[in-house]
């Protein structure tokens, strides 16, 4: 895989990850056309078995850090 293909794959992967996280955590402003604010984030996620998804608590922690900054 060449550098251009690798860069395109990386961009696709980051966009797909953003869309996944946005669907899980954001209520509004999904394209971040304005700075992220607490009211854009869902107040409480549905109990969907986060214990089976070890990455979700880490993402949640990072979102809280971004909002606190």
The total number of structural domains that make up the chain: 1
pLDDT at 23: 80
What is the chain's mean pLDDT, rounded?
A: 80
25-55 residue pLDDT tens: 888 888 889 998 888 888 776 655 555 566 7
Cα Dmax for the chain = 43
pLDDT of residue 49: 57
Which SS3 state, helix, strand or coil, does residue 60 take? Answer: helix
26, burial (CB in 10 Å: exposed 0-12, middle 13-18, buried 19+) = middle
Domain that holds residue 13: 3-68
Sequence-distant contacts of 14-20: CB under 8 A, at least 24 apart: none
pLDDT, tens digit, 9 for 90 and up, residues 7-29: 999 998 888 888 888 888 888 88
* Per-residue pLDDT, 52: 58
């Amino acid at each position: 895989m060449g550098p251009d293909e690798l860069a395109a794959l990386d961009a696709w992967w980051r966009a797909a990850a953003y869309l996944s996280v946005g669907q899980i955590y954001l209520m509004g402003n999904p394209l971040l056309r304005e700075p992220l604010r607490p009211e854009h984030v869902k107040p409480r996620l549905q109990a969907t078995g986060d214990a089976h998804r070890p990455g979700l608590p880490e993402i949640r922690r990072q979102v809280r850090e971004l909002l606190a900054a």
